[in-house]
């Protein structure tokens, strides 16, 4: 029995949600999102709550039950508040700047890395060593943050590179004489 899946999802104030078949549509102050659930689960809307149930007790249906409920919760929270991911840059000469709509990163390469901002995502640089990725779709915000981090992930000896805010880097000891 899924502990997450059996809880109904309450539709927040200021968000209109509708269920038609396997599609959940949410409209809020930030925008509109859709989620199409797998055929293994059944979605019902009762009043201002959306509940997700497995169609049968097969392992496949039960594994998609909790995930579908979480996806619905994410689209409802996304159209209401949006999501944000912060990145920190550590290293001498490492910095970020916005160049029009593109993100320009100086990460110790012989050239600057230019990252094009995808549609529906907002990237801001409050300081040269901080990057904020925000949007209404949690998966896309996380994917964009992961792509930026991938250019130069934190290395274990000095901790230089791009990391998530609050991420703990396991440091290694350098070689000894």
- Give the domains, in start order, of the chain with CATH numbers: 9-80 (3.90.930.12), 83-164 (3.90.930.12)
Strand partners of residue 99: 102
DSSP 2: -
Element (H, E) at 79: helix 59-80
Structure tokens at 149: 């981090």
Q: What is the pLDDT of residue 58?
A: 87
Q: What is the pLDDT of residue 143?
A: 96
Structure tokens at 151: 């250019």
Q: What is the pLDDT of residue 5?
A: 82
pLDDT along the chain (177 residues), means of 10: 82 90 91 90 89 89 89 93 94 93 94 94 95 95 96 93 93 88
Q: What is the pLDDT of residue 2?
A: 66
């Amino acid at each position: 029995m899924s502990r997450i899946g059996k809880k109904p999802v309450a539709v927040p104030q200021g968000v209109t949600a509708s269920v038609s078949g396997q599609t959940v549509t949410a409209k809020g102050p930030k925008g509109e999102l859709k989620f199409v659930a797998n055929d293994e689960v059944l979605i019902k809307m009762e009043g201002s709550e959306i509940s997700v149930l497995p169609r049968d007790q097969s392992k496949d249906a039960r594994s998609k039950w909790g995930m579908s409920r979480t996806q619905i919760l994410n689209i409802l929270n996304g159209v209401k508040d949006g999501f944000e991911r912060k990145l920190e840059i550590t290293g001498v000469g490492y910095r970020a700047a916005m160049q029009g709509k593109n993100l320009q990163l100086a990460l110790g390469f012989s050239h600057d890395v230019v990252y094009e901002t995808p549609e529906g995502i907002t990237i801001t640089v409050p300081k040269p060593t901080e990057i904020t990725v925000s949007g209404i779709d949690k998966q896309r915000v996380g994917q964009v943050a992961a792509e930026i981090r991938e250019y130069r992930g934190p290395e274990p000896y000095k901790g230089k590179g791009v990391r998530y805010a609050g991420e703990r880097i396991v440091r290694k000891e350098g070689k000894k004489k």
